[in-house]
Chain A
Amino acid sequence: MSLIIQAFAWIFNPIHYTTTALGTGIPDALTQHLILTGLSLAVAVVIGVPLGLFIGHTGRGRSVAIIASNAARALPSLGLLALLLVILPIVPWLPSNYLPNIIVFAVLGIPPLLAGAYSGLESVDRQTIDAARAIGMTEWQVLTKVEIPLGAGLLVGGLRSSVLQIIATVTISSLYGQVSLGTYIANGLAQHDYVQMTAGAILVAALALLADGILATIQRFVVPRGVSRGASKKRNTARGRGIAATPGKPIMEGN
């Protein structure tokens, strides 16, 4: 218990805002963490969301997507990081270690986005989509006016999982020298400075919970009013197998 109190004291110690035993102040570490998360998320979104929307709308490539999602869940991120750090050359115009790190973060962040996008679209009642087509909407209109709004809850859920996954992986990357909030944990472990270690853990936990809270609120707002208000009677959805998703609480990946 006292360790936790000491850890909080460590966090609020003004010295640690300029430099700590390893030379990185808390603001620095936080900024690094956020930049890495942001960049990786951007890459993951650009790849994962359109792909997921395509698969969800057309129904093609479902099995490939499911296999990819499951495979990505099985891959140990630590191993991927270790591997890429060794075999990828360092690109000169990025701060050292950024490229392999971002590749790993993005790769691990894509499956939840993919899953969120296509399960969100699959959760839309087939009859509603059929009716939308029958009254004369183009495929694009069906996607943007019907499928995306109705599937938005699960879509944002996928985003939420992805953000958490990336934050967690960034934390782990500190074990290989990348500066982030996880650095305190890594150094604490290495130096047997358990106060620093616990402090780092608390900081990361706070970041994760904050991000989750923000996204959870967004998720609630994004669900259209008519869907949450009206009781939906017989819902005829596409049989989405592989990843069971319940509206509002998507399966989140680990790590």
Chain B
Amino acid sequence: MIEFKSVSKLYPDGTHAVENFSVVIPSRQTTVFVGSSGCGKTTLLRMINRMVDPSSGEIEIDGENVQKTEPVHLRRGIGYVMQNSGLLPHRKVIDNVATVLFLNRVPKAKAYERANELLDTVGLDRALANRYPGELSGGQQQRVGVARGLAADPNILLMDEPFGAVDPIVRVDLQAETMRLQRELDKTIVFVTHDIDEAFLLGDQVIILEKGAKIAQKGSPEEILANPASDFVASFIGADRGKRRLTVDTKVKPSGDDVVLIDAGGYAAGVISAPDGKLAVGSASPKSRSVSNKTSQAGDA
């Protein structure tokens, strides 16, 4: 569990990046910090592994004050994935993945074995192991970055807009991979993004931030959608433009039991199953969620 206690960050030039931020990040779940540029979400993330130190307040991991832990030691136990993968360009892919293991004095043979396993885990062909990062595509590089983050089997994985720099198709792929990894590995993931759809997709707990890291709303995606706490939140999630408010379209008659849903602006948003004229009810637990074409039937858990 990660806990922020009244954390503030004031930069010397006067920028108040974080103002009195307090939140509990539960273990084994994905918590997403989401907000527009400059709201301080990256700063918050980087305070967890002490890349940035708070001006006041405390950050505790499982009850231990992060400030009291030696930063290098702390960072070797936390996985960190950044936007441009941050791979070392002069080391081969396999060496990049094994970097933290080498830092932790794991013997070479074991380190390489684990690194190869991780390549499998993130869905990369082992043949890429001996290439250099510059020879890989953006999506592949990001996967290597994730593999490196997981190498030391940390409990916490920090991800800073990791899919921002890849194209949309690859992004969907990577998002699906992340969710699969979360299901299999049960890590505590702290994820930063400016994309609310990505936040709703990946987050068990979503924290919407305003400037100064002020919490605009905190909760599960369903809770936020059901009850936006303020106009800011409503506009941020697109609710005010009616993107989220869907009604059944009576104009188009699809075949079968599906009816078309339109949003408040009249634009088609999706379909919903309505056998016998009654709307299907779904309820998915976090573990059964996936990005796929299968529609979950009523009663699926």
**Are any A and B Cβ atoms less than 8 Å apart in their complex?**
yes
Residues of chain A whose beta carbon lies under 8 Å from any beta carbon of chain B: 125, 127-128, 130-138, 141, 145-146, 149-150, 224-227, 229-234
- Residues A135 and B100 in contact in the complex (CB < 8 Å), given A130-B82, A226-B134, A229-B134: yes
A227 to B133, CA, bound (A): 9
Residues of chain B whose beta carbon lies under 8 Å from any beta carbon of chain A: 49, 51, 72-77, 80, 82-92, 99-100, 103, 132-135, 138, 148-149
- Residues A234 and B89 in contact in the complex (CB < 8 Å), given A135-B99, A227-B134, A229-B132: no
- Residues A128 and B135 in contact in the complex (CB < 8 Å), given A135-B75, A136-B73, A137-B103: no
Closest chain A residue to B102 by CB distance? Answer: A145
Q: Report the minimal beta-carbon distance from A237 to chain B, rounded to whole angstroms.
A: 13
A125 to B72, CA, bound (A): 21
B90 touches A150 (CB 8 A): yes
Contacts between chains A and B (CB distance < 8 A), count = 81
Which of A133, A136, A138, A146 has a CB less than 8 Å from the CB of B88?
A146
B132 touches A130 (CB 8 A): no
A141: chain B residues within 8 A (beta carbon): 103
A130 touches B99 (CB 8 A): no
- Residues A227 and B86 in contact in the complex (CB < 8 Å), given A135-B76, A135-B80: no
6 contacting pairs across A/B (C-beta < 8 A): A131-B82, A136-B74, A136-B77, A226-B91, A226-B132, A229-B135
B89 touches A136 (CB 8 A): no
Which of A128, A233, A234 has a CB less than 8 Å from the CB of B86?
A128
**CB-CB nearest 6 A-B residue pairs:** A230-B134, A131-B86, A224-B90, A136-B76, A226-B132, A136-B75
A42 to B89, CA, bound (A): 31
Known: A135-B149, A150-B89. 15 other contacts (CB 8 A): A127-B83, A128-B87, A131-B86, A131-B87, A133-B75, A134-B75, A135-B148, A136-B73, A145-B88, A149-B90, A150-B90, A226-B90, A230-B132, A232-B89, A233-B138
- Residues A225 and B90 in contact in the complex (CB < 8 Å), given A134-B75, A137-B72: yes
A234: chain B residues within 8 A (beta carbon): 84
A232 touches B82 (CB 8 A): no
A225 touches B103 (CB 8 A): no
Q: Is the interface of A mostly helix, strand, loop or mixed?
A: helix
A233: chain B residues within 8 A (beta carbon): 138
B82 touches A134 (CB 8 A): yes
B138: chain A residues within 8 A (beta carbon): 233
Closest chain B residue to A231 by CB distance? Answer: B134
A234 to B164, CA, bound (A): 14
Closest chain B residue to A146 by CB distance? Answer: B88
Closest chain A residue to B136 by CB distance? Answer: A230
A230 to B137, CA, bound (A): 11
Q: Report the minimal beta-carbon distance from A10 to chain B, rounded to whole angstroms.
A: 49
A232 touches B134 (CB 8 A): yes
B134 touches A128 (CB 8 A): no
A230 to B132, CA, bound (A): 7
A128: chain B residues within 8 A (beta carbon): 86-89
